[in-house]
Structure 1
Amino acid sequence: MNANLPALILVAVLLFAWQVAAMGIDAAYILPSPVQVVVRLWELRGPLFTAHLPATMSVVVIGLLISIVLGVGLAVLMDASETARKALYPLIIASQTIPTTALAPLFVLWFGYTIWSKVLVTVLITFFPITITVFDGFRSVKTEMEELLFTFGADKRQIFLKLKIPATLPYFFSAIKMAVPLSIIGAAIGEWLGAQSGLGYFSRRMMTQLDGAGVFAPILLLSVVAMAATWVVSLLEKRMIFWRNE
């Protein structure tokens, strides 16, 4: 039996239910059917694929790279210093208690409609799971293993490279698989609240025109991109953490 078959069946059932509900409402500006969304996506493929998708992906890539560097850096710092952990951990948690939709307009006010206002929203959403998950990976390393390497003459640098990094790699890839969809959501939120291009901006523009299928078309494209990116990360994980598959 194909491992993906249950998921495919569930998706088919949900799409069928959506199609039936849309036909029952018969108001495309409120709830377009999946067929209408796909047709509209094809009709809008020009601006979506040539202008708005590249704009959104630029935000996603830059924001995700910054989040990886920031998140891993903070995790390493907190693991290396108990003082840093006590100082930073509460602030990292507190950063997630502020509604992103409240900060995004401020970012637009500070940086205008440039890419950096959207990047900041993306970083704010994505650095947290990377930081916390990677830090948990470092903390999962057993003290007995560290002490054993110490007795063999290993220093802290060697323990970090030979023990902690391999042990934390599964946590790192789990964090990235969480951060990829969140980065796309963050970019879309930033574009929705203030932008001149991007899939989030395009979806909001279609809403002002009461084009229900046009609102869903960029959302569908974002979902496909998120799933494809997560699949690529999963492939990299299998290649780099080969011992888990043995």
Structure 2
Amino acid sequence: MLPSPISVVGALVGDYELLLHHAMTTLVEAGIGLCAGVSLGFVAAIAMDHFEVLYRALNPLIVLTQTVPTVAIAPLLVLWFGYGMLPKIVLIVISTFFPITVGLLGGMRSVDSDEIDLMRSMGASEFEILRHVKLPAALPQFFSGLKISAAYALVGAVIAEWLGGFSGLGVYMTRVRKAYAFDRMFAVIILISALSLVLMRGVEILRRLAIPWERVRRCER
């Protein structure tokens, strides 16, 4: 039942072209869903920070979306939207929306009120306060949420593909599972883990480029 490491590597090398084809489909779904989730989370966090009424109305609903497991939502999305790419993207958006929104909102609301008062006393507009004070303060938490969302995006795509589709790593896993090809199952698991690590590493590189003052503070310490 448990394949040897040699057979797993052999399955990974032997099905390299097929795995690459399925991986491209999963990465496209994860990329589109992640971009949409980040965009929606970014807009929602700014709106909730600016309008207190909107914050009180939407915050409980956003928290509520995370109490429903994605495995329970996925079959409904497939029934509603079919077996194409749309239900996968919707599931990824639902999975990635929460970490981005909560991270950005928490960072913007943690800004010292004296800094905001100082900016207003100097005649700064709300957009200038957002650009020069709130967003820089929220960037560390934003990238922490983005790292989590990047992993969620790939896993969410695979979960949605389990329930139906024409290509993708989840579809591949379903086929080899029915054939009891455990070496191929472990091979695709290793590939998914490797892709998740690459995405998280890419987010870390973006963080270093977007927040250069963190490196300066570390050097000073």
TM-score by length of 2: 0.95
Aligned counterpart in structure 1 of residue 48 of structure 2, from 78, 90, 93: 78
Structure 2 SS opposite 1:31? coil
- Identify the residue that residue 14 of structure 1 maps to in structure 2: none
- Identify the residue that residue 14 of structure 2 maps to in structure 1: 43
- Distance in 2, matches of 1:217 and 1:125, equals 25
Question: 1:138 Cα deviation (Å)?
Answer: 0.7
Aligned counterpart in structure 2 of residue 195 of structure 1, from 165, 172, 175: 165
Aligned counterpart in structure 2 of residue 102 of structure 1, from 72, 78, 95: 72
Give the aligned CA root-mean-square deviation in angstroms: 1.0
User: Does residue 162 of the first structure (1) align with residue 132 of the second (2)?
Assistant: yes
- Distance in 2, matches of 1:194 and 1:103, equals 14
User: Does residue 89 of the first structure (1) align with residue 54 of the second (2)?
Assistant: no
> Which one-letter code corresponds to 2:67 in the other structure?
T
Larger radius of gyration: 1
Structure-to-structure mapping, 1:24-173, within 5 angstroms: 30-49=1-20, 51-173=21-143
> Which one-letter code corresponds to 2:81 in the other structure?
F
Structure number with greater CO (CA < 8 Å, separation at least 6) is 2
Question: 1:34 Cα deviation (Å)?
Answer: 3.0
Structure 2 SS opposite 1:154? coil
- Distance in 2, matches of 1:200 and 1:33, equals 22
8 Å Cα contact 1:133/1:172 also seen in 2: yes
Q: Deviations over 1:76-134 (max 9, x none)?
A: 11100110001100100111111211111111111111001111111111111111111
Structure 2 SS opposite 1:141? coil
> Which one-letter code corresponds to 1:62 in the other structure?
I
- Distance in 1, matches of 2:6 and 2:61, equals 46
Q: Kindly, what percent of the aligned residue pairs are identical?
A: 39
Flag structure 1 segments of 5+ consecutive residues without an equivalent: 1-29
Aligned counterpart in structure 2 of residue 175 of structure 1, from 121, 145, 170: 145
- Identify the residue that residue 219 of structure 2 maps to in structure 1: none
> Which one-letter code corresponds to 2:13 in the other structure?
W
4+ residue segments displaced more than 4 Å: none
Question: 1:33 Cα deviation (Å)?
Answer: 2.9
Query: How many residues were matched structurally?
Result: 216
8 Å Cα contact 1:203/1:216 also seen in 2: no
Question: 1:200 Cα deviation (Å)?
Answer: 0.9
User: Does residue 205 of the first structure (1) align with residue 205 of the second (2)?
Assistant: no
Question: 1:199 Cα deviation (Å)?
Answer: 0.4
TM-score by length of 1: 0.85
